[in-house]
Each structure stands twice: as C-alpha cells, then as structure tokens.
Homo-oligomer: A and B are copies of this chain.
Amino acid sequence: MDVRAGIVVTGTEVLTGRVADRNGPWLAEQLRLLGVDVGHVVVVGDRPEDLLGALRFLAGTGVPLVITTGGLGPTADDLTAEIVGRYQGRPSAPDPELERRIASVVARLSARRGWTADPVATAAGVRKQALVPAGAVVLEPVGTAPGLVVPPVEGRDGPTVLVLPGPPPELRGMWPAALDAEPVRRALAGRRELRQHTVRLWRTLEAQLAATLREVEDGLDGLEITTCMREGELEIVTRFDPGAQASYDRLLAALTERHGEALFSTGPTLDDLVGDALAAGQTIATAESCTGGLLAARLTARPGSSAYVLGGVAAYADSAKEQLLGVPAGLLAEHGAVSPQVAAALADGARDRFGARIGVGITGIAGPGGGTADKPVGTVHLCVRGPDAVLERSLHLPGSRTAVRDRSVTMAMHLLRELLVGGPPA
C-alpha cells in the first residue's frame, strides 16, 4: 500500500465541534478501500493562513493527492477555492457559464423552500461560488457548490488538490466524478485495492486479544489489524492485499479457537444481525421507560424495518405503564417502576398490545436525578420475551445520562441477538 493521500477539513464550526465532521472519516475509509492510505486528517478553522499551513504540511509528507472539504459556500469566510488556487499558482477568475448554472440551482432551491431571498445578496453569493482557479477541472455541483480538481501550475511539483464541498450528501454525490477526473486518476495511479474484514467479540478485554495476537504474530504477515473497544464490543478490523489471504485465514482460525465463546460476528454489525433475523418472519414491539424511545428509534433506523417493527411505547409516567401497557398497579406499588418484575411486565405488555412475537421491556434510572441508595443512578432492568424463551438482565451502569441510555439500548440489542441468533450470552 504505497499510494497515500492527505485530507484537510475546513470550518470553524467543525473545529469547535458545533458540527461533527463526517467527511474526513468517510473519505479516509473510501480511500483505504481503494488501496490509498491516509496518514493525516487536518481540521482547520476559517483562517486562510491555517489552511495554507495545512496544505504545506501535507505536501511536505510527500502525498500525491490532498483532499479539502468545506469552505465553498457563498459567504466571505468560505475561502477554500481561492486559497487552494493561490497555493497551486493558479489565480481564480469567474466562470460565467458556471455562474449561470449555480444561479438556476439557487433559484430552484429557494422557490422549493418558499424562502424569499434578497436578489443582490444572492447574486453576490453565486458569483463567489463560480470563481474557478485557472486550469482547474470543475466538478458539477450536487448542491450549489462546484467541486474543483487543482493540480500544481505547470513546472511546479507537489500534490494535486481535490476541493470538495462540506455538506456530506454533496461531497458523497460528487465522489465518483472526482475519482474519475484525470488529474485525480493520475495522482492515485499504482494503488491496489484491499480486502477488509471485521470480527466482533463481545466482552473481551483488549489485553486478552493483544496476548492472542502476540502468540500468533509470526503467521500474520501482510495484515493491518486495528482494534476498537466500544460498549463491551471489541471490533477487530483487518485490511490486507489479496495476496495475504492465507494470513487472514490463520488470524480468523486463531480468534475462533481462542475467543470462540465471545465471537458473535465475522462481518455484520450487531444492528444488521438483529435486523436480518427480525426480517426473517419475526415481529417486535418495545416498551421503554428510561431509554424513552431510543430502542424503537434504533430498530426503525434500518430501511425496511416497517416489515417487522410493529411499534413501541415510551412509558415515562407510571400511568402510561398501566394504561398503555397493562402493567398492574399492584406490581408497580410492590416492586417499584424500576424492577425486574416491571421490566418483564413491560415486555409482556408490548407483545400483547401490539400483537408482536417478541416484546422488549426496559426500565431504569438514567440520572442524573432520581437515584436512591437501593436503586442508584445506572440501575437498569431489561427483559426480552419471545414465543418460546425469555431473557432477563439487571445492570448497574456507570456514566452520564446519555451513556446509561445508550448502553441500555445496546444491551437490549445483544439480548435480541442472543434470542434470535445465538452466540455469546448478552
């Protein structure tokens, strides 16, 4: 894997976290699967000298291609195209034909949204977006901003810079045309596509895996292995040239032999495993207290989930648990709303009220308030009931309200995985 690229993500709103960057990781992943390695993603604010500094740094790492994202909007602080042009020795000038095309897109968008825009301000914005460095390849706008491919001016060395817009749908929509542009193809010549496989273990410590990898490392030539621990799941991603397939086979055999009891997937994510199993003729309904609809939202995030998700109730108030899910008032009074008994009654209520084959009940204390000595913040009870089996679980989770809610939902997904697919106990 000898061909490399660098990425610059621009925008003060990204640098300060008001908007999470989704472009850098997406581009890095796309490039790696194409056999192009990314060593650095540099996030810069809207200051021109910081963008120039990042371009100089990445050029200095010797990469043949630098990709920038963002800074192509209509406002004065959107300076990427002009700065990249200057850096490459190609001053920018208006492209009247492009300006007309952008103006018609902007007019159509404004009309569709029913917004009234000051025509002078709009025209100034369009004119700015149609500035093109001399000799650059223009990539047609997916939204309003065109992309640009800007090689160094003739006679000068250095990377070609691919300038892409910031909104992820626009960037992704433009990606195929960008890869197809002649200067980009030239910059990435010699790349070799990689294979990538993911193995997922449940509740295995990274240190345990590290010990396994040390023992078998002699057989793993040509593999690039990265591991990531998240909410109890250890994700092991391996990339390799097709010539190293035998090494990967050895790795998978070692993982299966030493961690078979924890291995729950050699590919699909937890959500895919559960979703595919549900799609094979099951129906499901949820009853959530502390997670307030998060499990239903996660299950319905998958396209096609309407075929098996009948629905869910977020029952925050006790009266809602009683009236919408039939949880007996006596049970609530005797054990409290946060109890294994109520989790089971919620799962039963969800099955019953929605007429679903599988019901899930979650009740707990997400905090920061509401904890007691008996039932501290982080106490969560879950129940998953199918036609022939019931799985129950009580947890004491650390962390913030968000962490407790997210982990409770992940645990519910693992209980569903255990019920539907098998594998290690949730």
Write the residues of chain A forming the contact surface with B, with a CB cutoff of 8 angstroms. 11-22, 24-26, 28-29, 32, 38-47, 50, 53-54, 57, 60-61, 73-77, 110, 113, 115, 117-118, 120-122, 124-125, 169, 203, 205-211, 213-214, 226-228, 230, 235, 237, 285-286, 288, 291-297, 299-301, 303-306, 309-317, 319-320, 323-324, 353-355, 367-370, 399-403, 405
- Inter-chain contacts of A296 with B (CB < 8 A): 292-293, 296-297, 314
**Selected A-B contacts with CB under 8 Å, 10 pairs:** A57-B57, A118-B211, A292-B299, A292-B312, A297-B297, A301-B405, A306-B316, A311-B314, A319-B354, A324-B353
- Inter-chain contacts of A60 with B (CB < 8 A): 57
Closest B residue to A319 by beta carbon equals B355
Q: Once the chains bind, are B370 and A18 in contact (CB under 8 Å)? A: no
- Inter-chain contacts of A369 with B (CB < 8 A): 303-304
- Inter-chain contacts of A76 with B (CB < 8 A): 210, 213-214
Q: Once the chains bind, are B311 and A315 in contact (CB under 8 Å)? A: yes
Complex: A381 Cα to B413 Cα, angstroms: 30
- Inter-chain contacts of A18 with B (CB < 8 A): 25, 228, 235, 237
- Inter-chain contacts of A294 with B (CB < 8 A): 293, 297
Complex: A17 Cα to B33 Cα, angstroms: 13
Complex: A299 Cα to B293 Cα, angstroms: 10
Complex: A94 Cα to B295 Cα, angstroms: 45
Q: Which of B14, B207, B301, B403 contacts A25 (CB 8 A)?
A: B14
Complex: A206 Cα to B26 Cα, angstroms: 26
Q: Once the chains bind, are A39 and B47 in contact (CB under 8 Å)? A: yes
Chain B proximity of A3: nearest CB distance (Å):
15
- A-B contact sample (11 more), CB < 8 A, given A303-B369, A320-B354: A18-B237, A21-B21, A39-B44, A43-B43, A75-B207, A124-B211, A291-B297, A292-B299, A292-B301, A305-B316, A311-B313
Complex: A17 Cα to B297 Cα, angstroms: 22
With A115-B205, A353-B324, A369-B304 known as contacts, the answer to whether A211 contacts B120 (CB < 8 A) is: yes
Q: Which of B40, B61, B110, B403 contacts A169 (CB 8 A)?
A: B403
Chain B proximity of A213: nearest CB distance (Å):
8
Most buried by B among A53, A294, A317: A317
Q: Once the chains bind, are B227 and A75 in contact (CB under 8 Å)? A: yes
With A16-B28, A311-B313 known as contacts, the answer to whether A226 contacts B77 (CB < 8 A) is: yes
Q: Once the chains bind, are B293 and A210 in contact (CB under 8 Å)? A: no
Complex: A401 Cα to B209 Cα, angstroms: 37
Complex: A77 Cα to B45 Cα, angstroms: 30
With A18-B235, A61-B53 known as contacts, the answer to whether A207 contacts B292 (CB < 8 A) is: no
Closest B residue to A167 by beta carbon equals B229
Chain B proximity of A332: nearest CB distance (Å):
14
Q: Once the chains bind, are B303 and A293 in contact (CB under 8 Å)? A: no
Closest B residue to A283 by beta carbon equals B317
